[in-house]
Chain A
């Protein structure tokens, strides 16, 4: 069990209550659950890392329990009742210096301090669809849902939201535009927050500016957007909708950069790798897919037998085990060296005016010209 769980780099939570680990290097998937005691009320709603070292996965179940799964030992180590089924499913989990933050659909956000029984409770409003933590400032969380606008909370001062979004202006018929925040993302290295809505809009808010309305709004497709994720390379966001369309949107103008193909059913979970240009998606079609964001090609496709709710990527290299990783690094190095060599050749070349030598130099130059640009393109891609 332990060796299995250590090799896994992607964790997926399913509707049947099974936590699944996928090892792309071994091309295998494992179920971490007792098959005898399956039940639908253990449906995995959210997954989150328990610590920054990524040795623990927190699993939020539909019946209100939060279970801790140790990736090193491969077993569930802890289980905690953090609410009950009447409060609705979990919409977000977060760890804030040792204390656990949970948020349920009914809008009750709780901070469970370690070793302490009393909790801080915030009511963030009804119909919450998602709660997300700011990865750079861990005490900040954002919430939003159906008829519940985006709110940013500072958990150290829980009395009032530090930012509440204002609804956009009425439409051309002077009718109120409905609000339905489906997913939220904090844009790294800036205060901005990006949301996607059930009315197929992508909106960017800037809490640092006095404007409470979105600073950018873009539409994608005609079906509700269900998930978003921010890739490592800045300036873009990946969104997915209920028809299984995945797109990379530009955050400067809101244009579609490209679509990721191959999905058959609605997207439920979406996560980009924190450093590499990869995005993992899962959903109702029971497949986990890993796309490359560079050429938008489908890299991996794993059938996981149940409808999948959420996906969690580890920050280490996903599909490559140790050996493969070093191999690729070497390759890159080699190319770099070659490139350097050609540059050296260019530098070392004399400007020759002699007629006899001209032909030879021309040939060399031609060869370099043929080699040079290709190499450069490769390097630029990397």
Chain B
């Protein structure tokens, strides 16, 4: 093995060193000796078994060196192929075949059969008569109560305060150790349409329960990457009390529609454009990113935005029918790890 490896270094040298490392190695060798063994080394290379793999080499240094060499060769070949193709394309001119579409995670997503077709009567009826229909028919105005898990600490408290500046007509209340099942009837009697509960673990907000009142549904999210206003770079001045515009991106499936409608119902019907504020819920591979911006039209073509904060990421854990009842409530959707999807390495998105 050692002998073979040696031969390889020599072939390497013959081919002409390219990287610094190889140069260093070559320096110690006699140039004349190299030339004398050239013929032999070619023969040695041919003596490799056809299915020889670098990992079979037992000497670590040698293996590492061989591996580097292999990689280099590969890259070289790839570059050559690329050049060749480019030349061919140029030679063919207009007749060149169309370029292949690159594989991306987004276009590898498997099609979800529940994707909502806007012309579907049945889904339209289902959505038209669901729990949010009173909001979308402009019968109710949103009123939001924000509270936390028991005894919130610094970050969570600030997060709640900043969230309430982003959501109009929202009120932050201290939880006072009350059970949610007792809070909900009180909220309903006082005309709240949403209850948001931020859960905290080790002083970090990590969960959010979004409960639509008076009769559900309830969504439970995991909250991550919370960045408060103070931690934001290049942020604008604090948001005004104007009701923002809402952007909902990529809520395409049936489950996504339910969640999207829920977020939409958090904000008042008519945005006040004078405030120039936008709240964005962007869904990408089941993660929902919340951003809050202020925009300005600099001229006819250019728009400037500045982030106002807070920003956070949500991931849906469960969607439950009815108001919060984790013990006896019926779940419409529960997050379960799909081993099939993990094994098959496919991108399965549900929202």
Q: Give chain A's interface residues, CB within 8 Å of chain B.
A: 16, 18, 31, 35, 38-40, 198, 223-224, 226, 242-244, 264-266, 284-286, 303, 305-307
| Residue of chain A at shortest CB distance from B328 | A224
The answer to whether A226 and B330 touch across the interface, beta carbons within 8 angstroms, is yes
The answer to whether A305 and B129 touch across the interface, beta carbons within 8 angstroms, is no
The answer to whether B122 and A306 touch across the interface, beta carbons within 8 angstroms, is yes
Neighbour of B122 across the interface among A35, A198, A266, A284, CB < 8 A: A35
1/0 contact trace for B192-215 toward A, CB 8 Å?
Answer: 000000000000000000000000
Assembled-state Cα–Cα distance A264/B254 (Å) = 13
Looking at the assembled complex, report how far the CB atom of B50 sits from the nearest CB atom of chain A, in whole angstroms. Answer: 34
| Residue of chain A at shortest CB distance from B123 | A305
Assembled-state Cα–Cα distance A16/B321 (Å) = 15
The answer to whether B126 and A285 touch across the interface, beta carbons within 8 angstroms, is no
Cross-chain pairs A/B with CB under 8 angstroms, 10 sampled: A16-B122, A16-B125, A224-B328, A242-B329, A244-B336, A265-B330, A265-B333, A303-B113, A305-B122, A305-B254
B residues 276-332 near A (Cβ < 8 Å) are 321, 327-332
Assembled-state Cα–Cα distance A285/B332 (Å) = 5
Number of interface residues of B (CB under 8 A): 20
Contacts of A303 in B (CB 8 A): 113-114
Assembled-state Cα–Cα distance A39/B332 (Å) = 21
Q: Give chain B's interface residues, CB within 8 Å of chain A.
A: 113-114, 120-123, 125-126, 129, 254, 321, 327-334, 336
Contacts of A305 in B (CB 8 A): 120, 122-123, 126, 254
Assembled-state Cα–Cα distance A130/B164 (Å) = 45
Contacts of A31 in B (CB 8 A): 122
| Residue of chain B at shortest CB distance from A304 | B122
The answer to whether A284 and B321 touch across the interface, beta carbons within 8 angstroms, is yes
The answer to whether A198 and B328 touch across the interface, beta carbons within 8 angstroms, is yes
The answer to whether A307 and B122 touch across the interface, beta carbons within 8 angstroms, is no
Assembled-state Cα–Cα distance A223/B334 (Å) = 13
The answer to whether A265 and B125 touch across the interface, beta carbons within 8 angstroms, is no
The answer to whether A264 and B334 touch across the interface, beta carbons within 8 angstroms, is yes
Contacts of A198 in B (CB 8 A): 328
Among B129, B254, B328, B331: residue with most chain A CB under 10 A: B331
The answer to whether A265 and B328 touch across the interface, beta carbons within 8 angstroms, is no
Contacts of B333 in A (CB 8 A): 264-265, 284-285
| Residue of chain B at shortest CB distance from A31 | B122
Contacts of A39 in B (CB 8 A): 129
**A306 and B329 in contact (CB under 8 A), knowing A35-B121, A244-B334, A264-B334?**
no
Neighbour of B330 across the interface among A40, A266, A306, CB < 8 A: A266
| Residue of chain B at shortest CB distance from A20 | B122
**A16 and B332 in contact (CB under 8 A), knowing A35-B121, A286-B114, A303-B113?**
no
The 10 A-B pairs of least Cβ separation, nearest first, read A266-B330, A284-B332, A242-B330, A35-B121, A265-B332, A305-B122, A303-B113, A38-B125, A266-B331, A265-B333
| Residue of chain A at shortest CB distance from B350 | A264
The answer to whether B121 and A243 touch across the interface, beta carbons within 8 angstroms, is no
Looking at the assembled complex, report how far the CB atom of B57 sits from the nearest CB atom of chain A, in whole angstroms. Answer: 42
The answer to whether A307 and B123 touch across the interface, beta carbons within 8 angstroms, is no
Looking at the assembled complex, report how far the CB atom of A64 sits from the nearest CB atom of chain B, in whole angstroms. Answer: 19
Looking at the assembled complex, report how far the CB atom of B64 sits from the nearest CB atom of chain A, in whole angstroms. Answer: 45
Contacts of A38 in B (CB 8 A): 122, 125
Contacts of A306 in B (CB 8 A): 122, 126
